[in-house]
Chain A
Amino acid sequence: MTETRKTTYREALNEGLREALQQDERVFLMGEDVGHYGGCFAVSKGLLEEFGPERIRDTPLSESTFTGAGIGAALGGMRPIVEIMTVNFSLLALDQIMNNAATYLHMSGGLFNVPLVIRMATGGGKQLAAQHSHSLEGWYAHIPGIKVLCPATMEDARGMLWPALLDPDPVLIFEPAVLYPMEGTLPEKPTPVAIEGAKVLHQGKDLSLISYGSSLHKSLAAAEQLAGEGIAAEVIDLRCLRPLDDTTIIGSVSKTHRALIVDEGWRSGSLSAEISARIMEQAFYQLDAPVERVCSAEVPMPYAKHLEEAALPQVETIVATARRMLNG
């Protein structure tokens, strides 16, 4: 038996950061309030004291420039971790991410790769309204040249950072803000984690719930409820949004013959649309029912609790949709 201990998603991320900083002198963290404040979500708490201001660098409110500086530092031989407070603010750095980080390798004919990691919080559920709550990771998953990760489990929260830093190309890590206080257990000894491939977290034969991030936990709760009704749902954690793991998705759908995608992003022009299209392309004749999606309502995220809840995917909606898909 491996020893386990209790922790939180936030602490797991913090451990991942600490381990990376300990393992490689070239690694440093920069972003707004990562140092003296301890991280806007307290993810980097204690790191300034341990590693000093050279390696835990508070930046001015200059998303574009500190992200670009991360690109330059990566080109210059360092292994920077850039923290952007939330995905909403990353739009101010989109120029650097899209036009520089994602293009340099190809545009230079293979001369310059950018070994950069960018972390940011994403998603709603905290009543932070329309400028702090959106799930835009699907936009980033549109971009060739970068990898997009979304850890939803303790293991991934701790373990994804290090392989992301070893990756020669830019990796974006999205941390669903509602998961920071989530409690769980971790093995005492860190186990290596891969940064590609989806994982089946719950086996089932009747339908596939395809999800990631905070929606994953809603899907797992829905699967439990459905089990009580005699419906065996399989739950897939995508983990890596780019590249998508077609093999796992198609393998599962070919077994269950029904696919329900649960994604906190909006549905129009989205990651869920992409997954649905891939299922049509690769497993159309395996399907016993149309692919369905539970996504966020197509509105800017409202503040009021009841409205926000209505806008986000919820366990009940997932259960009801699954039930309908099976019972017609």
Chain B
Amino acid sequence: MSKQLTDLEHDLALLRQMLRIRRFEEKSAELYSAMKIRGFLHLYIGEEAVAVGVAEALGAEDAVVATYREHGHAMVRGMSMRAIMAEMYGKLDGCCRGRGGSMHLFGVKERLYGGNAIVGGGLPVAVGLALADKLQGNNRVTCCCFGEGAVAEGEFHESMNLAALWNLPVLFACENNLYAMGTALELSESVTNLTEKTAGYGVPSAAVDGMDVVAVEAAAKQAVATIRQSGGPYFLESRTYRFRAHSMFDPELYRSKDEVEQWKQRCPIENLKTQLQQQGWLDDAKWAALEKEVADEVADAVAFAEQSDWEPVEELTRFVYSDREG
């Protein structure tokens, strides 16, 4: 983030980014019902402050490894709504030509090494990306985003150990939304304070209110500063909540409507919006303009995805192996 912006302008930029994710995903849910988007669709609604805040701490040269709940991460890395929407449509102009879909967004210039749909599966890859940087003397950070459910996987513990053992610059960004599908944290972890977990590996950790984008940004910047200084890993837990179902097939039997309502009171977008209004920085006209700008961008992405072509079926077997020629 450039320094000449005032804090308020910066906050407004954060708000805008969160709103982009929110409106984009609301539209995606609609398009899912309209059967334009198929497969699994995992929405990040409620958790936007985490990706937006963490991304502020990263530079374009840093890498991100994410999960299947990664539309927001792709957007904050600079991927266009068009490329993401077309991907979810399964179209050729999608970031992965429609081969990955919602759960597998990849981008070279974004240095986004995938949405990974194997819980925990991205952690070792992030460790390896960081190893490559260390061996090549690149001063870069690899940020690995994952849910608290992944903390129960062996790959989490193996990766924590290896990253610490080899002192590799990985930001382990845990998005604790309290549920892994329908399994509450206390039903899966003997110790539910996740920041305690990494002490045994010698990995410094912190927890932050994941509903407060400004707080997440500050904590992530602190984490990345620590990483750049030590060269080693850091574990940052953002405590957050998903407002929607796990995916589109989820009757939400495992939590009460009250609980969801309570968390919705802490909506990261509403909160920041109110703050900015109270500070006199955001009036109704400005908000309406922001909404309009985002709505236009979403509409444009949908129109783009609609008119995009399908990859010719003759290309089905391309990219199983790299093209030899050229």
Q: Interface extent on B, as a size class?
A: 35 or more
Query: Inside 8 A of B94's CB, which chain A residues have their CB?
Result: 109
Q: Does B177 contact A (CB under 8 A)?
A: no
Please report which residues of chain A, range 121-146, place their CB below 8 angstroms from some CB of chain B when the two chains form the complex.
Answer: 144-145
Which single residue of chain A is at the shortest CB-CB distance from B117?
A: A99
Query: Inside 8 A of A65's CB, which chain B residues have their CB?
Result: 123-124, 127, 155, 158-159, 161-162
Query: Inside 8 A of B318's CB, which chain A residues have their CB?
Result: 110
Q: Does B114 contact A (CB under 8 A)?
A: yes
- A289 → chain B, closest Cβ, in Å? 35
Docked-complex contact B136 and A75, CB < 8 angstroms: no
Which of B108, B123, B127 has the most C-beta atoms of chain A within 10 angstroms of its own C-beta? B127
Docked-complex contact B158 and A95, CB < 8 angstroms: no
9-residue interface stretch from B20-28, B95-103, B275-283, B291-299: B95-103
CB-CB contacts of B240-257 with A at 8 A, as 1s and 0s? 000000000000000000
Query: Inside 8 A of A169's CB, which chain B residues have their CB?
Result: 321-322
Q: Does B181 contact A (CB under 8 A)?
A: no
Docked-complex contact A113 and B322, CB < 8 angstroms: yes
Q: Does A72 contact B (CB under 8 A)?
A: yes
Query: Inside 8 A of A323's CB, which chain B residues have their CB?
Result: none
CB-CB contacts of B286-326 with A at 8 A, as 1s and 0s? 00000000000000000000000000000000111111000
- A30 → chain B, closest Cβ, in Å? 9
User: With A and B bound together, what is the CA distance between A110 and B316 in angstroms?
Assistant: 12
Known: A68-B155, A69-B128, A100-B121. A108 touches B321 (CB 8 A): no
- Residue pairs across A and B with CB atoms within 8 Å: the count is 149
Docked-complex contact B320 and A108, CB < 8 angstroms: no
Docked-complex contact B107 and A67, CB < 8 angstroms: no
User: With A and B bound together, what is the CA distance between A147 and B130 in angstroms?
Assistant: 26
- B81 → chain A, closest Cβ, in Å? 18
Q: Does A107 contact B (CB under 8 A)?
A: yes
Q: Does A231 contact B (CB under 8 A)?
A: no
Which single residue of chain B is at the shortest CB-CB distance from A112?
A: B106
Q: Does B104 contact A (CB under 8 A)?
A: yes
Docked-complex contact B135 and A112, CB < 8 angstroms: no
Docked-complex contact A107 and B124, CB < 8 angstroms: no
Q: Interface extent on A, as a size class?
A: 35 or more
Q: Does A228 contact B (CB under 8 A)?
A: no
CB-CB contacts of A163-195 with B at 8 A, as 1s and 0s? 000001100000000000000000000000000
Name the one of B63, B97, B124 contacting A68, with C-beta atoms under 8 angstroms: B124
Name the one of B63, B125, B319 contacting A71, with C-beta atoms under 8 angstroms: B125
- B315 → chain A, closest Cβ, in Å? 10
User: With A and B bound together, what is the CA distance between A70 and B129 in angstroms?
Assistant: 9
Which single residue of chain B is at the shortest CB-CB distance from A66?
A: B162
CB-CB contacts of B79-112 with A at 8 A, as 1s and 0s? 0000000000000001111111000101110000
- A83 → chain B, closest Cβ, in Å? 15
Q: Does A9 contact B (CB under 8 A)?
A: no
Which of B96, B107, B165 has the most C-beta atoms of chain A within 10 angstroms of its own C-beta? B96
Q: Does A282 contact B (CB under 8 A)?
A: no
Q: Does B150 contact A (CB under 8 A)?
A: no
Known: A109-B100, A109-B319, A110-B97. A73 touches B123 (CB 8 A): no
Which single residue of chain A is at the shortest CB-CB distance from B101?
A: A107
Which single residue of chain B is at the shortest CB-CB distance from A99?
A: B118
Docked-complex contact A62 and B161, CB < 8 angstroms: yes
User: With A and B bound together, what is the CA distance between A68 and B116 in angstroms?
Assistant: 13
Q: Does B154 contact A (CB under 8 A)?
A: yes
Query: Inside 8 A of A96's CB, which chain B residues have their CB?
Result: 121, 124-125
What would 15 more interface pairs be, CB under 8 Å, given A65-B124, A78-B136? A59-B162, A60-B158, A71-B125, A72-B113, A72-B127, A72-B129, A72-B142, A75-B125, A76-B133, A95-B121, A100-B116, A104-B106, A111-B106, A111-B108, A147-B321
8 A-B pairs (CB sep. < 8 Å): A28-B135, A68-B124, A71-B124, A73-B128, A75-B132, A108-B99, A110-B319, A145-B321
Interface residues of B (CB under 8 A from A): 63, 65, 94-100, 104, 106-108, 113-114, 116, 118, 121, 123-133, 135-136, 142, 154-155, 158-159, 161-162, 165-166, 318-323
